[in-house]
A = this chain, B = another copy of it.
């Protein structure tokens, strides 16, 4: 049986959705707050329906938390705000779909089914990063360089992914520590150098460019197409 989590503070709407989905044979959890939703994450969920605004926080923040934990569960965002930018933002942080309020309950259920099916067939949105000779499949954390799969450690992977996602952009060591290592960890800036070295040795020297006195950025091979 498929398990669905609905995070929605409008109880009427939530219960109505729950009922329809249960008729479809789904097992539905309903949370009216983010706090409650977090406790329900212990369940093995197949789809999450997430409202944009909630009494104790933004749905999008909850989504970010999920993605930070590498959760791959599809998320459908609900929002009353019609301007496109919010939709775009929602999608970029990894929402699989969205709906603007008001909507037909039946349509939402249809979309939930789409997500369930895509999750099964594995054809969901492939999170790929392509930059020159680099290809990154973020779903299974695979890194390819020049057509060959290279085994990278977690930090190496996160580092090169950030650089590949922002080709040409120069990052200072401090900036990289923030973005890749996070604010909780405080390694030396020299740690960055070491990891850059590892990546260079595993691939090619020019994969990462040194901008002396400023930091690192993706090398030109990340810009030049290989064919």
Using a CB–CB cutoff of 8 Å, the interface residues on chain A facing chain B are: 1-2, 25-26, 80, 82, 84-85, 87-89, 91-92, 100-104, 106-107, 110, 113, 116-117, 120, 128, 130, 137, 139-142, 153-155, 157, 168-170, 211-214, 217, 223-225, 227
Contact = CB atoms under 8 A, between A and B. Distances in A.
A101 B225 contact: yes
Nearest to A88: B113
A214 B156 CA distance: 12
Contacts of A227: 102
Contacts of A107: 128, 130
A153 B2 CA distance: 40
Contacts of A87: 25
Contacts of A169: 139-140
A116 B85 CA distance: 8
A168 B115 CA distance: 16
A212 B154 contact: yes
B153 A225 contact: no
Contacts of A224: 82, 100
B154 A213 contact: yes
B170 A140 contact: yes
A141 B170 contact: yes
A141 B211 contact: yes
Contacts of A128: 104, 106-107
Nearest to A2: B84
A223 B97 CA distance: 12
